Amino acid sequence: MNWLRARRRGGFIEQTIDALHAAMESAMYAENTARASGFLQRMDPRVKVAGLFAFILVAARETRLWKMAAILLLAVVLAAGSRISIRVLAARVWLGTFPFAAAIALPALFLTPGEVMWRMPAIHWPVTSQGLTSAARLILRVDAAATLAMLVVFTTPWMHVLKALRAFRVPVVLVVILGMTCRYILLLLETAHEMFESRKSRTVGEMTDAERRRMAIGSVGVLLGRTLQLSGDVYLAMQARGFRGEVYVLDDFDMKAWDWVALLSFLSLAGVAVWLGR
């Protein structure tokens, strides 16, 4: 029993550290896969941004289930060709998007008028075939769009994504916000991990529930204060070194024949999907 209580006492800090480790490992995984030798990794970043976002727009406006399923299947095939396993997609994309989309789509099962297929036990709410179609449409649309967007991140270094966005005349302010947000999130995770590791190494004896709550609240306040101060210092240092919002990387983009073929293929498939959906 004492051993179980000890495990419970350290549960909060240990679970927090494990969650922070998982988040940082996810970021490192994206960096590693972006530099692997895969199908999408060999493409020019501008081709991936233009082609995959074209399919995201198609998925957002499509209404037929089989077409949205086909787009999702295409994303899975591209992921497999880019050395991204289905298990990674399920754990880091679908596991988060499916419950969110399902929660939003749930009312459509009962509120959409149409042919009643089944009634909920006890409450007798009708589930219509049109409601099921609407819910499935929303879930497939969200999963397809999220998978395509994550393919861009998983197969392209983040700075190259930002530079590709600037190549398409995305406003500097938006690009800077995206770049800084990503870096500050990683900074926040690293700082939080160091804080909780330090707290775990210095925690001796049993803590009451009130002490745990005070520790959690105090840690959050200190973490936010340190992160804001450090982020401000980093931004001022970047300004002092000439940063004005433009993204500069050592690698220059160079469209090869394969890139033009891939871009034409992406846009042609997206155009055919739009034409078939008329």
Residue count of the chain, please give it: 278
The pLDDT assigned to 201 comes to 73
How many domains does the chain divide into?
Answer: 2
The pLDDT assigned to 9 comes to 43
User: Tens digits of per-residue pLDDT, 185-231?
Assistant: 777 777 777 777 777 777 666 667 777 777 777 777 777 787 778 77
- pLDDT category at 5 given cuts 50, 70, 90 is very low
Residue 67: both structure tokens together: 């077409």
Closest among 68, 245, 45 to 154, alpha carbons compared = 45
72 has a pLDDT exceeding 80: yes
The pLDDT assigned to 11 comes to 54
Q: What's the whole-number mean pLDDT along residues 244-252? A: 66
Query: Would 53 be classed as within a structural domain?
Result: yes
Is residue 18 domain-shared with residue 49, that is, in the same domain? no
Contacts for 74 with CB less than 8 Å, ≥ 6 apart:
55, 269
Q: Greater confidence, 228 or 8?
A: 228
111 has a pLDDT exceeding 60: yes
Query: Would 150 be classed as within a structural domain?
Result: yes
Residue 144: both structure tokens together: 């397809």
- pLDDT category at 12 given cuts 50, 70, 90 is low
CA angle 259, 149, 179 (to 5 degrees): 90
Query: Would 231 be classed as within a structural domain?
Result: yes
The pLDDT assigned to 93 comes to 83
Q: What is the Cα–Cα distance from 240 to 102, expressed in whole angstroms? A: 47
pTM of the entire structure?
Answer: 0.73
Is residue 132 domain-shared with residue 176, that is, in the same domain? no
Is residue 183 domain-shared with residue 115, that is, in the same domain? no
Is residue 50 domain-shared with residue 130, that is, in the same domain? yes
Is residue 73 domain-shared with residue 19, that is, in the same domain? no
Least confident of 20-24, 216-220, 273-277: 20-24
The pLDDT assigned to 248 comes to 66
Is residue 41 domain-shared with residue 121, that is, in the same domain? yes
Is residue 130 domain-shared with residue 183, that is, in the same domain? no
Query: Would 101 be classed as within a structural domain?
Result: yes
Query: Would 2 be classed as within a structural domain?
Result: no
Tell me the residue range of the domain where 173 lies.
7-34+158-241
Query: Would 141 be classed as within a structural domain?
Result: yes
Query: Would 229 be classed as within a structural domain?
Result: yes
Is residue 42 domain-shared with residue 130, that is, in the same domain? yes
User: Tens digits of per-residue pLDDT, 24-49?
Assistant: 566 666 677 777 778 888 888 889 89
Is residue 87 domain-shared with residue 209, that is, in the same domain? no
Query: Would 204 be classed as within a structural domain?
Result: yes
- pLDDT category at 73 given cuts 50, 70, 90 is very high
Do residues 92 and 26 make contact, with C-beta atoms less than 8 angstroms apart?
yes
Is residue 79 domain-shared with residue 102, that is, in the same domain? yes
Is residue 94 domain-shared with residue 218, that is, in the same domain? no
Is residue 40 domain-shared with residue 115, that is, in the same domain? yes
Q: What percent of the chain has pLDDT over 90?
A: 3
